[in-house]
Copies of this chain bind each other. A is one copy, B any other.
Amino acid sequence: MQVSTEQLFTQARTHNGYRPTAVSDEQLRALYDLLKWGPTSANCSPARFQFVRSVQGKDKLLACVAPGNVEKIRQAPVTAIIGMDMSFHDKLPQLFPHTDARSWFAGNDAKIAETAFRNSSLQGGYFILAARALGLDCGPMSGFDAAKLDAAFWAGTTVKTNFICTLGEGDPSKLFARSPRLSFEEACSLV
């Protein structure tokens, strides 16, 4: 499928308001079917996703987020909760079958936490760009009560929330002015 770097990067914006255009199951499946191919360490793929669209789900979510994020989430057709499975290594026999990669992690909680956080965040980057590739605008956020959100959405699992992200057809009238970025010289060096 053809997309443009303008759509992915240079003209894409973080959205704060949405039009009432529904996002279908098919769109969410297509989103996962793109992002899942992004690389992770030993193919560990720790990210887990809950796509919150129902009134009940939204109410449960709104009770867990910072006041400044309530209206954005209320208006968005979908808010994704991007979690990380702290038992991701139990799936390595399936995901990385040619060697015993599970044993690299089992019992090493610090390594598990670091790997889950790094790689689910990388997958969060793939998620945002895959959504944009499919024409969905995004509003990633980290303003929420993590313990409350985990209890409300991931109880009985080994998943913890990494960040949340609204999805839909953005309302350009609600955009803020674009903030500057660091120059190449400020952020990069050639060695």
Contact = CB atoms under 8 A, between A and B. Distances in A.
Interface of A: 1-6, 8-10, 12, 14, 25, 28-29, 32-39, 41, 43, 45, 47-54, 57, 91, 94-97, 115, 117-119, 121-126, 128-130, 133, 138, 140-142, 153, 162-163, 179-182, 184, 186-191
A146 B32 CA distance: 32
21 contacts: A5-B34, A5-B130, A8-B129, A9-B34, A10-B34, A32-B188, A36-B181, A36-B187, A41-B142, A48-B188, A50-B191, A51-B188, A51-B190, A52-B191, A91-B186, A97-B180, A117-B118, A118-B163, A121-B122, A124-B125, A125-B129
A1 B2 contact: no
| 6 interchain residue pairs of minimum CB distance | A125-B125, A121-B121, A57-B191, A36-B181, A43-B179, A9-B37
Contact of A125 (B41, B54, B122, B189): B122
Contacts of A142: 41, 115, 118
Copy count, this protein chain: 2
Among A10, A49, A122, A189, max chain B CB count under 10 A is at A122
A33 B48 CA distance: 30
